[in-house]
Amino acid sequence: MSQKNCFIGQSGGPTVAINASLAGVVAQCKKEGYEHIYGMINGIKGLLEDHYIDLGELFKDEESIENLKATPAMYLGSCRFKLPTINLAEGTYEKLFKKFEDMHITDVFYIGGNDSMDTVAKLSTYAKTVNSSIRFIGIPKTIDNDLMGTDHTPGFGSAAKYVASSMLEIFYDSAIYKLNAVTIVEIMGRNAGWLTAASALARENGATVPDLIYLPEVPFDTEKFLEDIREKFKEKSSIIIAVSEGIKDADGQYLDQDSKYTKKDAFGHVLHSGTGKVLETIVYKEFRCKVRSIELNVLQRCAMHIASKTDIEESFEIGQFAVTSALNNETGIMIVSKRESDMPYKVHYETMDVLKVANLEHKIPVEWINDAHNDITPALHDYLYPLIQGEMAIKYTNGIPTYLDITHLKNNIVKE
């Protein structure tokens, strides 16, 4: 059998489950007899600066792989580096492929979201132009759940479980008071509201929150928003609202576009900060009651202590399936999950041309949002429910979770 060597990279925003996919790739590569399993430090940008480690040496047994599987964020570190188009920076591609050739690389696995799939697409396209036999495989991840072609993305189920649980705990905190109050919970989701929709799962055990849900897939109307609150005040004194950070008005303008904190990343995506605060001001001016806005921020993507076991196990399996797909001589593809049924919940894995995924967004179907545009439908609930099931057995030391050390990243810093 010919020698097999691979590179694995992680890119974009972290999730609770991305290391589970990494663990799946490492475990399957070991099973298939790969001689070297290299990990890019800080993604493709780190590789361009010769920053990588030998994962095969670091993860030699099942216990170490299980520890990786149960560690949040990105063991290999990340980058938000947009690989230039081939015609504008052919030298960059020549440098990467020279490195692949020198290290006898047969496969490259890249774990990430939309922008990471753009990287996979560009590398696989260049490979064809130079007749390279290297296989490029995209492994999905994103808490936003907005990748095309797949039923759901690794990392989403755990973030959804955190959002729903946090919403329930906010409900308990606010229920002790009788005074009129509005609590606005801002949840990640630039253009797709999947994670905000998952807040409705807080209702599973009898709670009645959130009272209102606003998603970016439908226009946000400030006057309608205030009227919705006014109607809820007729029923109860404490109102809890879930809102996506990326809600937009009828003209397509983000609510927080004028916030002094709004910035853009390397891919031109708006980095939202302030939607909850904008709404807090609007509500206070109208009702003069107690108003609080809560931004879950990075907490919703790093909470391994409340991860979905379904999410972690599927993420690991997708990593394994990626290796199997590469050995079946597939390239320029992303691994996707296909749902067979809700009850009982069952999925299987397939591959999809990465060019049909990169730079596209999968949004909530409008028919899964209620007619009033302030809640979800039962169909969306049934889609979400299976993804948060099960809990991970987390190791604790001195009263707090024990995760893998990532100090190797500090020794291989790649400047943004």
Query: d(Cα 294, Cα 271) in Å, to the nearest integer?
Result: 17
DSSP structural state of residue 84: P
Is the CB of residue 246 less than 8 Å from the CB of residue 216? yes
Q: Which residues pair with 75 in a beta bridge?
A: none
197: exposed, middle or buried (Cβ count in 10 Å: 0-12, 13-18, 19+): buried
Q: Which residues contact 299 (CB under 8 A, 6 or more apart)?
A: 162, 166
Please tell me the distance from the alpha carbon of residue 399 to that of residue 402, in angstroms, as a whole number. 9
Length reported for the chain: 416
Q: Quick check: 73 and 302 in contact, CB under 8 A?
A: yes
Residue whose entry in the numeric block shows the structure tokens 């670091």: 58
User: Alpha carbon of 31 to those of 34, 56, 320: distances in Å?
Assistant: 8, 11, 10
**How does strand 270-271 pair with strand 290-295?**
unpaired
The DSSP 8-state label assigned to residue 237 in this structure reads S
From the list 118, 144, 211, 311, the catalytic residue is 144
Q: Give the C-alpha separation, 381 to 377, whole Å.
A: 7
Say how many C-beta atoms besides its own lie within 10 A of residue 112's C-beta: 31
DSSP 249-269: -TTS-BTTTT-TT-EE-TTS-
Concerning whether 102 is annotated as a catalytic residue, the answer is no
Provide the annotated active-site residues.
Answer: 144
